[in-house]
Amino acid sequence: MSKRTVRVIVVFIAIPVVLCLCIQLIPVWLAQKNPPVLSEPTWDNSQTRALAKRACFDCHSNETVWPAYARVAPVSWLVTLDTVRGRRHLNFSEWGQARGEGTRQVAEVIREGSMPPAMYVMMHREANLSQSEKQQLVQGLQASLR
């Protein structure tokens, strides 16, 4: 292998490594805060809250569990953005304030399988609800969120 080939290989490896290190300097994870819980819905039962906590609370409450990988860019950017957007649409910890989604929309996204998102379920196996758990969550949310 010539010196020129070695230099080219080193440059092709060094540039992505340096870029990955530089993007860590953007402290998006500083926005990963959990404001206080102001109020919650009046849950119809503890099982509904447990299912919601398991599958929804990380993005739709102020009780987010921020895993270690959520502090590493660019993953931190995605996790923070998803949580901010999720809280804006529906926040179980700020119940009674203006809501973007009604009960019908919440039930619909759970039934169709778009919530919780597949990428989230891949990283959080406990959020993978069975069909009966989804149905129980939908019914419980409909009873709780009236």
- Domain map of the chain by residue range? 29-144
Q: What is the pLDDT of residue 51?
A: 97
Distance of alpha carbon 89 from alpha carbon 81, whole angstroms: 12
Residue-wise pLDDT tens digits, 26-81 = 877 778 899 999 999 999 999 999 999 999 999 999 999 999 999 899 999 999 99
Q: Can you give the pLDDT at residue 22?
A: 82
The string of pLDDT tens digits covering residues 78-119 is 999 999 999 999 999 998 875 555 677 888 999 999 999 999
Amino acid 120: pLDDT: 94
Q: Please indicate, yes or no, whether the overall pTM of this predicted structure exceeds 0.85.
A: no
